[in-house]
Every structure is written in structure tokens, then in C-alpha cells.
Amino acid sequence: MIVKTEVVVLRSIKYGESSKILTLYSKEFGKISCIAKGARSAKNKFGSSMEPLTHSLVVLYKKEHRDLHLISQCDALKTFKNIGKDLERLTIGLAIAEFLYRIAHNEEKNEHLFDLVIESLTALDAEPKTPMIHFHAVQLRTAILFGYSPALNFCSTCGKELLGGSGEYRYAFQIARGAVFCNVCMSPEGTSSGGQASEQMMVTVSAPALQLLRRCSTSAMLSLNFLVVDPKVGNELEEILRFYLQYHFEQYKSMKSLDLMQYYLK
């Protein structure tokens, strides 16, 4: 079957003398693996359309029950050139690609996830004040799209509204349930609901970090470009999301980009 779909290139590896094997996140079919014959030959007809983080339009021969589909045509729609101009944004862009590569299931369509990636790369390409916010937002929203939506507005025990902003308040975030508890209910007595030790795993979350989590979960990606995130609050968010994603997605543990970010961006 010959099909046409928009894709984001997540990864590209050399294959044989002159070919490439690509992992793409496609709008129509979710994550797919493809082979591009001649993509590394002198007469490469694909240009830069197969570079990681490129938004392209591909035509492919898609065979049922095959793991690898054959690309016949690939044209770049958007190359997000600015992302490659500084190490920070490039590292974050590649981390977003790796995140999707690890988390998304093969050939499982999710247009919202596709749109999320395009939206985040577009924002990352457009001079964000704190580029890392996009990696946080992509992780949180992907978790939400997969059904793991944290409850960030009200205490999960007493229902009291949780104040965000610049307040000095600190709350407790329960990793397994994505539940937040107010400073009264966060005591061990208040949250004793039984269950395994891992179910009880709590991390503290400050009011500014809670506010930022809310923004990451709902704001348009481009509007996040205006945020200047205090590094302390950013680190807090990073830790919460790492625990949260690790808990819900087994594959997250093999993410290599987390170490790279630690190495290059700290």
C-alpha cells in the first residue's frame, strides 16, 4: 500500500553502503521504522528531509505485518534550523526525540502526540527564554495523553484549593497517583491510604513549581517561551517529572538524553 503522511524524524542510522534506517513519528501511523535506500549515496534525492528533528512529508510503501517500510519520497516541510544553532536547544530537541522514541508504541496512531511534538519544536525554534521548559511540558503532556493526568489544583484528601504562584507553601506530590496534598494532609497520618511502599512515594513540591506544572500541562507551547524559570524551581520540576515518568513508563529508564543534559546543561 502506498501512503503519504507527515512525520517528525526521531532517529536516523546508517545502513549498508548507502542507506539509512529511520525512526519516524508519523501523523497517520504513530511511530514507524523505515528504510531509505540511497539516502547516503552521492545522488541522494532526499536532501535534508531525513535529519533528526525535521518535519517532513513522506511517501512510503507500507506493508502489513512488516517492521520496516520502504520510503520512496521524502520532502522537508520544516527544518527548525534555529534549534541546531545552540547546544542547549539542540540537546533538548534531541531529548524530546529520544523521549518519543522510547515512550511511543510502534504503529499506534496518536495525532495529539504528533501535534504536541510539532508544537514543541516550533516553540523551541523560536527563542524560548528557558528552553528546558519544553522538555518538561512534552513529558507532562505525553503522560496526560497516555491517561496519567496529575490532579494539580486541589488537595486530593480534603479538596482544598492549592495555591500556586510565588507563595512559600510546600505541598506533597504522590508519584503513583499524581495526587497533590496540602500542608495539613501531607503528614503521614493524613495520607495513610495503605498500599505498597512505592505507592506511597512522595516528593515535596513548592508553590512556584506547582504553578509551573499547571502551566506546562495546559498553556500553548509558544506562550511558554516567555517564561523565565528560576533554576531552583526548574530542578524541582525536573525531579518530579523524572520520578513520575519513571513510575508510569518502564522504557523511560533507558533514556540516554537525561545524562547528556546533565552533562551539557548543568
The contact set with Zn ion (CB under 5 A) reads 155, 157-158, 160, 182, 185
Strand partners, 70: 35, 61
Nearer to Zn ion, 94 or 179 (CB): 179
Cα 120 from Cα 43, distance rounded (Å): 33
**Cell for 124?**
523551541
The nearer residue to Zn ion, 24 or 179, going by C-beta atoms, is 179
Only one residue has cell 513508563, namely 249
With H, G, I as helix, E, B as strand and everything else as coil, classify residue 202: strand
**Cβ 240 to Zn ion shortest distance, Å:** 19
CA 236 to chain centre: 17
Any idea which residue has 489544583 for its cell?
153
| Residue 157 or 219 with smaller CB distance to Zn ion | 157
Report the 10 Å Cβ neighbour count for 237: 26
**What's the min distance (Å) between Cβ of 6 and Zn ion?**
45
Q: How far is the CB of 214 from Zn ion (least distance, A)?
A: 17
What sign does the dihedral 79-224-103-57 (CA atoms) show?
negative
Q: Smaller CB distance to Zn ion: residue 185 or 258?
A: 185
Cβ 119 to Zn ion, closest distance in Å?
34
Closer residue to Zn ion, CB minimum distance, 143 or 155: 155
Nearest Cα to 135, choosing from 169, 165, 103, 164? Answer: 103
Task: State the minimum distance, in angstroms, from the CB of residue 171 to Zn ion.
Answer: 9
